């Protein structure tokens, strides 16, 4: 074997065996010291700093109580039942970074400590809700302090088993959460026992969404405020004191709920609020790399601020045109849609003769979420309008009440309850075998739509002659010697029909003509014989 061949084999052997040699290196020590962990972080090019924290010094059992996201919260069938939302395709022009702690003010609330109870879901939920409440009230200095104790123990959580973000969001929407003074937190399992006047002290969100996909999460975070997220927690996370965390060492300890308050695309990380007190992490906050331990999904509480789109195509229901003889007419309209960040349509105010229905006054009504309505009160004869205002789940109306004509979509209509009048014109006492019958009518409101005309031959029963005729005359062919009587009734544009008169309007007799054949004179003289 040549020297060149030997050298080639040595190079190949070194290259092929290198991964194997790495794979048989000694595993990281367990337990590990802070110094050993930091060497691992540095060796892998990590951007975070390890150190002793209030959590790393706890026993394994105590550390476990610092989590609390239920183990089956990621079940696909379970997640498929949650209310979802996606960002509109046209909105994906997102800022490269957002931090709600410094976003023309600090829109976050102070770091809390869940202590030795698996109640992270309550803290992750209310971290987002409190920030959204400040944004809703446009006051970064409000600093609301809602009760994790009330949310967790009245909602159905317990320190041992933890809870679900979806259940926490639904409780905050349906029941609401009291302030901290009404039900202070003490990190022990409790029965639900808030203060006596708790119902007057609750804060409710208008709705919530489960959002999947990193860009969608960033859209709702950047445009509307902090959201609740979930993450996997490994043993090295207990030692985090700063930097951009990425899992480096240790087994999975479980799952955790947090509040996302920002992100940074240039360095590829999320900014999050934890519930382990301010002696852990970056004064209680942390940054974590995209795609590592924080899942690309979020639970988004909503205080609905923007008004919805309006209802449209207001129209009669069960009748048509401008006129009705119904004194309690029915209407229908096309449903409104809420804005992209909203909670949907709560329902509709409707009104007669009010340009902007808002539920006040005797002629305004709440229709609920249906898109049809029958006016419950009797309407006077004359011109009216029927208008519709859409209201979203946040109570925002479209339109707002300005009282100006055309503010809300509307339909103009006329109530006409008085039947028209008609009359067959006078006929001569005698007529030819064909003659013209004329009639006319009047209606003070909607006008004549059509006529019906009956005829009677002598004393025989009345019979239809003309029905639904819009003209006011027609030619009749009769039998000589017969007397014909006529009567009419009119129908107006509102559908009111005149009652038939009890007697005929007028009669005429067809003349009985006698025909005489002309006499023909014939010459009966004998003809001369032919010669």
- Catalytic position from the list 150, 219, 247, 256: 256
- Catalytic position from the list 219, 274, 398, 496: 274
The pLDDT value given to residue 522: 54
Band of residue 427 on the pLDDT scale cut at 50, 70, 90? very high
Q: Is the pLDDT of residue 314 over 50?
A: yes
Band of residue 16 on the pLDDT scale cut at 50, 70, 90? very low
**In whole angstroms, what is the distance from residue 294 CA to residue 251 CA?**
16
421-510 and 312-415 share a CATH fold: yes
Average pLDDT of the chain is 90
Specify the range with the lowest mean pLDDT, choosing from 17-26, 251-260, 326-335, 443-452. 17-26
Give the pLDDT mean for 486-497: 95
Q: Return the percentage of the chain with pLDDT > 70, whole number.
A: 91
pLDDT tens digits, 180-203:
999 999 999 889 999 999 999 999
The pLDDT value given to residue 93: 83
Band of residue 12 on the pLDDT scale cut at 50, 70, 90? very low
- Catalytic position from the list 117, 120, 159, 207: 120
What DSSP designation does 498 have?
A: P
**In whole angstroms, what is the distance from residue 58 CA to residue 242 CA?**
19
Please name the residue that has the structure tokens 């994790």: 148
Give the pLDDT mean for 235-242: 98
The pLDDT value given to residue 283: 98
Domain boundaries defined on the chain = 37-302, 312-415, 421-510
* 206 tagged catalytic: no
Q: What distance, in Å, lies between the first and last C-alpha atoms of the chain?
A: 165
The pLDDT value given to residue 23: 40
**Structural fold of domain 312-415:** Immunoglobulin-like (2.60.40)
The pLDDT value given to residue 77: 86
Specify the range with the lowest mean pLDDT, choosing from 78-87, 233-242, 413-422. 78-87
pLDDT tens digits, 244-272:
999 999 999 999 999 999 999 999 999 99
**In whole angstroms, what is the distance from residue 434 CA to residue 397 CA?**
67
Give the pLDDT mean for 288-297: 98
pLDDT tens digits, 105-159:
999 999 999 999 999 999 999 999 999 999 999 999 999 999 999 999 999 999 9
Residue whose C-alpha is closest to residue 88's, from 210, 214, 261, 220: 220
Residue whose C-alpha is closest to residue 345's, from 409, 408, 397, 393: 393
* 103 tagged catalytic: no
421-510 is a CATH 3.90.1150.10 domain: no
**Structural fold of domain 37-302:** Cathepsin B; Chain A (3.90.70)
Band of residue 60 on the pLDDT scale cut at 50, 70, 90? very high
* 207 tagged catalytic: no
Q: Is the pLDDT of residue 362 over 70?
A: yes
């Amino acid at each position: 074997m040549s020297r060149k061949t030997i050298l080639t084999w040595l190079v190949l052997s070194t290259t092929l065996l290198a991964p194997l040699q790495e794979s048989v290196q000694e595993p990281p020590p367990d337990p590990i010291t802070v110094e050993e962990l930091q060497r691992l972080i540095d060796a892998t090019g990590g951007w975070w700093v390890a150190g002793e924290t209030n959590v790393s010094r706890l026993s394994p059992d105590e550390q476990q109580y610092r989590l609390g996201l239920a183990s089956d919260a990621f079940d696909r069938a379970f997640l498929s039942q949650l209310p979802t939302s996606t960002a509109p395709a046209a909105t994906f022009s997102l800022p490269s970074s957002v931090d709600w702690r410094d976003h023309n003010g600090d829109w976050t609330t102070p770091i809390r400590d869940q202590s030795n109870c698996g109640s992270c879901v309550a803290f992750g939920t209310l971290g987002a809700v409190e920030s959204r409440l400040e944004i809703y009230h446009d006051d970064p200095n409000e600093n609301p302090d809602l009760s994790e104790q009330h949310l967790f123990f009245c909602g159905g959580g317990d320190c041992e088993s933890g809870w679900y973000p979806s259940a926490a969001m639904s409780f905050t929407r349906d029941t609401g959460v009291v302030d901290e003074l009404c039900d202070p937190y003490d990190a022990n399992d409790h029965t639900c026992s808030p203060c006596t006047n708790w119902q007057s002290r609750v804060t409710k969100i208008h709705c919530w969404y489960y959002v999947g996909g990193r860009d969608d999460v960033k859209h709702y975070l950047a445009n509307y405020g902090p959201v609740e997220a979930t993450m996997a927690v490994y043993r090295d996370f207990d030692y985090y004191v700063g930097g951009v965390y990425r899992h480096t060492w240790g087994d999975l300890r479980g799952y955790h709920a947090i509040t996302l308050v920002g992100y940074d695309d240039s360095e590829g990380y999320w900014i999050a609020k934890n519930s382990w007190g301010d002696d852990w992490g970056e004064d209680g906050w942390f940054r974590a790399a995209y795609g590592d331990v924080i899942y690309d999904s979020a639970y988004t509480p909503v205080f609905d601020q923007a008004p919805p789109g309006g209802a449209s195509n207001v129209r009669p229901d069960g009748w048509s045109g401008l006129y009705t003889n119904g004194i309690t007419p029915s209407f229908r309209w096309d449903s409104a849609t809420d804005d992209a960040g909203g909670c949907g349509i709560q329902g509709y105010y409707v009104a007669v003769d009010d340009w902007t229905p808002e539920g006040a006054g005797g002629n305004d009504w709440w229709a609920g979420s249906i898109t049809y309505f029958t006016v419950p009160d009797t309407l006077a004869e004359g011109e009216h309008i029927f208008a519709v205002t859409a209201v979203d789940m946040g109570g925002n109306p479209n339109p707002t009440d300005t009282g100006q004509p055309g503010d809300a979509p509307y339909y103009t209509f006329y109530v006409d309850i008085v039947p028209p009048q008609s009359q067959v014109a006078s006929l001569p006492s005698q007529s030819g075998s064909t003659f013209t019958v004329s009639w006319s009518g009047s209606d003070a409101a909607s006008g004549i739509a059509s006529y019906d005309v009956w005829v009677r031959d002598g004393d025989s029963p009345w019979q239809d002659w003309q029905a639904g005729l819009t003209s006011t005359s027609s030619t009749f062919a009769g039998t000589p010697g017969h007397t014909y009587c006529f009567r009419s009734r009119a129908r107006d544009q509102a559908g009111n029909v005149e009652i038939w008169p009890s007697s005929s309007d007028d009669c005429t007799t067809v003349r009985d003509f006698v025909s005489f054949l002309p006499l023909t004179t014939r010459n009966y003289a004998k003809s001369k014989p032919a010669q």
